[in-house]
Chain A
Amino acid sequence: MLQPHSFLWHYLWLAPQVLQFGLALILWRRGFQRRFPVFFLYLIFEAVEACGLYGMDFLPSVSVTTWWVAFCVGLVLEGFIRIAVVGELFLHLLRSRPAIAKVGSRLISGVGAVIVLVATIAAAYVPVDTLQFAIGYRAHILQQTLYMIECGLILFLFLFTFSFGLTWGQPTFGIALGRGISSSVHLATWAVMANGGLPHSRYLLDFLNMATYQVCVLLWFYFLLVPQKSATTSAVSLPENHLDIWNRELERLLQQP
């Protein structure tokens, strides 16, 4: 069952893409693309790209090199879109909070620059020792680099919201969680592949990647389509006692010369 070109392998390659098309269609009808245009583009692009690569994998006229070139081109475009998705999430978090917009933008720029530097250094240290499949190895390195950047940015996003006590909107949270899980698992698997690990059982890593992505797509279905349960229907009231204490303290302060 856990073999390349098995039923499970075909299912895990195609099912998330079909689900993504379906999700994109439902979201289009709900006008989601106006609120999250980049993520909407990502859903469409990812589904088209994966289906295209799946088709190319079966066409006898497509050589291995051509397939990997197409994979790399798609990967670069997808990488830019994925990082733009993180930017979109950050924009959603900061848009209604001008008090930390400036410090947030500076922080993510600084952290982003550091992550890019670390990812570049990590890529430079990856051994490229099999010239026969050089394009494949380069694609693995590119994957490792892009997922490292994305994973670092998503991690920063979660730490940032946690440290400031910010509340996520349900769609923003769902997108960030899905991309966070996907990028961290893919980072680990592509790092193993790029560094020449598990040479005879890499298909197991492919299974792990595809299964993880399937879970992430299902998470997006839940967080983007299931209506948000309102925690409170009425406004939260502050405790009277604390207000009294604060008021007393402030009055004491005001009475100081």
Chain B
Amino acid sequence: MTLAIFIVIAAVLALGVILSLAVSQHLQAKKTADLAGAIRPIDVEAFRNLIDPAEDAYLRSCLPPPAFRTVRRERLRAMAAYVHAVGANAAVLVRVGEAALAAGDPRFAAAAHQLVNDGLLLRRNATIALLRIYVALAWPNSGFAAERVVERYEQVSSVAMLLGRLQNPGAAVRL
């Protein structure tokens, strides 16, 4: 019966997760009006500075190893916070793109489709980058590269701007 109890607990947990995700996703799908407000601004320059290998090399040469590891961990935590925000923004942009696709306006279809795909790629890269950051937190001396996240973020931002410009020509003038 031990196995049965274990399986029953697992099944109840699975049911709980499925129901909570279903409810949250169902509610989320109805709240597309507030999507734009969910986007958090990202300081790309500060992020670039954080992931710059030259900065790390400079700190490594200046600081004793224990102090370097402490500083490196602090920088990695800050990096994780940035990447987390980038991933969250990517998810919002995917939903913005899907909402634009669902509206069925052929003028926005191409830009919206590109935004969805680029957003999904960014989301994937952000997840991978987060995993690498957490690994690097355990081994602060290891090398780390998150440039792809920055590149992808720039690409998605430009696509989002293109879609925004198509949907709201008035704003495009100001850009």
Q: A and B: partners?
A: yes
Interface string of B86-108 (1 = CB under 8 A from A): 00001110111011101101001
Residue A167 interfacial (CB < 8 Å): yes
B45, A191: Cβ atoms closer than 8 Å: no
Interface string of A230-257 (1 = CB under 8 A from B): 1111111111101111110110110000
B168, A237: Cβ atoms closer than 8 Å: yes
Q: Which residues of A contact B7 (CB under 8 A)?
A: 122, 144, 148, 187-188, 191, 195
Residue B124 interfacial (CB < 8 Å): yes
> Could you say which of B3, B41, B91, B161 contacts A164, with CB atoms under 8 Å apart?
B91
A195, B37: Cβ atoms closer than 8 Å: no
B29, A168: Cβ atoms closer than 8 Å: yes
Kindly state the separation between the CA atoms of A162 and B95 in the bound complex, as whole angstroms.
12
Known: A238-B167, A243-B161, A253-B44. A181 touches B8 (CB 8 A): no
Chain A residues 31 to 81 lying within 8 A of chain B, measured CB to CB, are: none
How far in angstroms is the closest Cβ of chain B from A252? 6
Kindly state the separation between the CA atoms of A96 and B44 in the bound complex, as whole angstroms.
30
Q: Which residues of A contact B95 (CB under 8 A)?
A: 165, 167
B4, A191: Cβ atoms closer than 8 Å: yes
Count of chain B residues near A, Cβ 8 A: 68
> Could you say which of B90, B105, B154, B168 contacts A253, with CB atoms under 8 Å apart?
B154
Residue B35 interfacial (CB < 8 Å): yes
Q: Which residues of B contact A176 (CB under 8 A)?
A: 22
Kindly state the separation between the CA atoms of A151 and B121 in the bound complex, as whole angstroms.
27
Residue B59 interfacial (CB < 8 Å): no
Report the stretch among B9-17, B60-68, B76-84, B133-141 that lies at the interface: B9-17
A103, B124: Cβ atoms closer than 8 Å: yes
How far in angstroms is the closest Cβ of chain A from B92? 7
Chain B residues 28 to 87 lying within 8 A of chain A, measured CB to CB, are: 29-33, 35-37, 39, 41-45, 48
A99, B120: Cβ atoms closer than 8 Å: yes
B44, A240: Cβ atoms closer than 8 Å: no
Residue A98 interfacial (CB < 8 Å): yes
**Which of B8, B11, B45, B119 counts the most chain A CB atoms within 10 A?**
B11
B25, A99: Cβ atoms closer than 8 Å: no
Residue A185 interfacial (CB < 8 Å): yes
B26, A195: Cβ atoms closer than 8 Å: no
Tell me the interface secondary structure of chain B in the complex: helix
B22, A173: Cβ atoms closer than 8 Å: yes
Q: Which residues of A contact B120 (CB under 8 A)?
A: 97, 99-100, 164, 166
> Could you say which of B10, B103, B123, B164 contacts A243, with CB atoms under 8 Å apart?
B164
A122, B11: Cβ atoms closer than 8 Å: no
Residue A116 interfacial (CB < 8 Å): no
Q: Which residues of B contact A168 (CB under 8 A)?
A: 25, 29
> Could you say which of A159, A192, A237 contacts B17, with CB atoms under 8 Å apart?
A159
Chain A residues 75 to 127 lying within 8 A of chain B, measured CB to CB, are: 96-100, 103, 122, 125-126
Subset of 19 A-B contacts with CB under 8 Å: A100-B120, A103-B124, A155-B14, A161-B21, A164-B120, A165-B91, A180-B22, A187-B7, A188-B12, A196-B1, A196-B4, A231-B31, A231-B102, A233-B103, A235-B103, A235-B112, A239-B37, A249-B42, A250-B154
Which residues of A does B touch, CB under 8 Å?
96-100, 103, 122, 125-126, 144, 148, 151-152, 154-155, 158-159, 161-168, 173, 176-177, 180-181, 184-185, 187-188, 191-192, 194-197, 229-240, 242-247, 249-250, 252-253
Which residues of B does A touch, CB under 8 Å?
1, 3-4, 7-8, 10-12, 14-15, 17-19, 21-22, 24-26, 29-33, 35-37, 39, 41-45, 48, 90-92, 94-96, 98-100, 102-103, 105, 108, 112, 116-121, 123-124, 127, 154, 157-158, 160-161, 163-164, 167-168, 171, 174-175
Contacts A163-B123, A173-B22, A173-B25 given; 8 further ones with Cβ under 8 A?
A96-B116, A97-B117, A187-B11, A230-B102, A231-B30, A232-B32, A239-B36, A243-B164
